[in-house]
Amino acid sequence: MSQFKIHSIQTAPAIAQPLLEGSLKKYGFIPNLHGGLAEAPAALKAYIELTALFDQTSLSPMERQVVLLVVSTENHCIYCVAAHSMIAKQMIKADPAIVDAIRNLQPLPDTKLDALASFTRNVVKNRGVVCGQTLDKFIAAGYTLAQVLEVVLGVTLKTLSNYTNHIIDTPLDTAFQAETWEEPAQCASQQCA
């Protein structure tokens, strides 16, 4: 049982209340992640602002979802994998085969997106220490040096939410239930108790 509370607008610290009101307006509900982050208004504000900044990158909506899903699978975040699977499939009309490949740790059926997924996975697994060959493959796939750093921004954004979800044991919102994710065996065996 988590020691953390999932805040509503009424129970959140005063500084977080307008932020949660913005979440309600944007999504039609307050995602449990936002309610949990409200415990520390600066963390909630950082998450909202990082999301807005990541949305301003040169990566397409599909590419951004690839980054966010890959980071979430690598960080074993059941909440974020479900949320971004739903966002990718329903909001940006992503090819379900691409989303499912990421969820199942398989190569993507689109070579450029697969290069993005592979680069993102390397950034997460190696904590940003990527070899020249990895970077060269990413650039050869058609990405730019600016997009290397935009991927790092996406990794930063998702690491904040993934780690928060682990620590506060965020319950999955009803809106994301259809995309519940069970970690592939190779993921689950890497976690600690």
Largest Cα–Cα distance of the chain, in whole Å? Answer: 51
Quick one: pLDDT band at residue 2, thresholds 50, 70, 90? confident
- pLDDT tens figures, 73-96: 999 999 999 999 999 999 999 999
Would you say 164 and 36 are in contact if contact means Cβ atoms under 8 Å apart?
A: yes
Instruction: Answer yes or no: is pLDDT of 190 > 60.
Output: no
* Identity at 62, one-letter amino acid code: M
Which residue segments constitute the domains of the chain, with CATH numbers given?
A: 17-181 (1.20.1290.10)
Instruction: Answer yes or no: is pLDDT of 189 > 60.
Output: no
Instruction: Answer yes or no: is pLDDT of 104 > 70.
Output: yes
Cα(95)–Cα(77) distance, integer angstroms: 22
Tokens at residue 111, please?
């070579």
> Which of the 8 DSSP states describes residue 172?
P
**b vs e for 84-94, b when ≥16 Cβ sit within 10 Å of the residue's Cβ?**
bbbbbbeeeeb
Instruction: Answer yes or no: is pLDDT of 188 > 80.
Output: no
Summarize the confidence of residues 40-67 as an average pLDDT.
98
Cα(184)–Cα(187) distance, integer angstroms: 5
- pLDDT tens figures, 136-171: 999 999 999 999 999 999 999 999 999 999 999 999
Q: What is the pTM of this model?
A: 0.92
The pLDDT of residue 41 is 98
Spatial CA neighbour of 69 closest among 129, 124, 24: 124
**Strand intervals (E) in 74-188:** none
Instruction: Answer yes or no: is pLDDT of 181 > 90.
Output: yes
Quick one: pLDDT band at residue 39, thresholds 50, 70, 90? very high
Tokens at residue 11, please?
């129970």
Cα(125)–Cα(127) distance, integer angstroms: 6
Percent of the chain at pLDDT > 70 equals: 95
